[in-house]
Amino acid sequence: MGDGPTTLTGGCMCGAVRYETTGEPSRVLHCHCQSCRSHTGAPAATLAVLKADQVGFSGDDRKIYESAPGVGRAFCANCGTSLTWETILGDEGSICAIHISTFDNPDTLTPTGHSFYPERISWFDVADGLPRYEGFVVGGSLLQHGPAKDG
C-alpha cells in the first residue's frame, strides 16, 4: 500500500475491546460474501487485512465465533460490535482482517478491491473503478473493474 500509517488503533463501540496494529495492511477490501454480510448486518463488509502478529488486543477478551472450520469472527461480548475475520490463508499464514469502521481513523485506509463479488446483494454496488473478484482478492479470479452494468 505504501502511503498508509504504520500504527493504527481502534476498538468496539463501548470501548471494552481495543486494538493496535503495526505496519501496513496488505490490502483493504469490500467483501460481499454471505458470511460477512451476516456477521455485520450490512450489504458488504470493508476489511483491512493484516498478519495476525501485526495486531494486539487489550481490554476485555474478544468472543470468537467459528463461522466455518478454521475461520473465526471476533466481536465484543459487551456491545456486540463485529471486529475481525481471522484464519490461516495459504502462503500468507495467520491473518486478522479488521472491520474498517472499528478503526479510530478509518479515513486513513482506502479500499483496493472487492471480494466475492458474485455474492453481492443485487441492488447494492459501489460506484468505484476497483477490481471485482470472484473469490478472495489475492489469488481470486478477476471478473471486472467497476460496478455491474445491469444492476
Please tell me the predicted confidence (pLDDT) of residue 5: 55
Handedness of CA 143, 147, 149, 151 (dihedral sign): positive
**73-97 in b/e burial notation, b at 16+ Cβ within 10 A?**
bbbbeeeebbbbbbbebeeeeebbb
Please tell me the predicted confidence (pLDDT) of residue 1: 45
Q: Does CATH place domain 7-145 in 3.90.1590.10?
A: yes
Please tell me the predicted confidence (pLDDT) of residue 4: 53
The predicted model gives 17-34 an average pLDDT of 96
Please tell me the predicted confidence (pLDDT) of residue 142: 83
Residue 37 cell numbers, joined: 454480510
Residue 40 cell numbers, joined: 455485520
The predicted model gives 70-87 an average pLDDT of 97
Tell me the C-alpha distance between 54 and 20, whole Å: 8
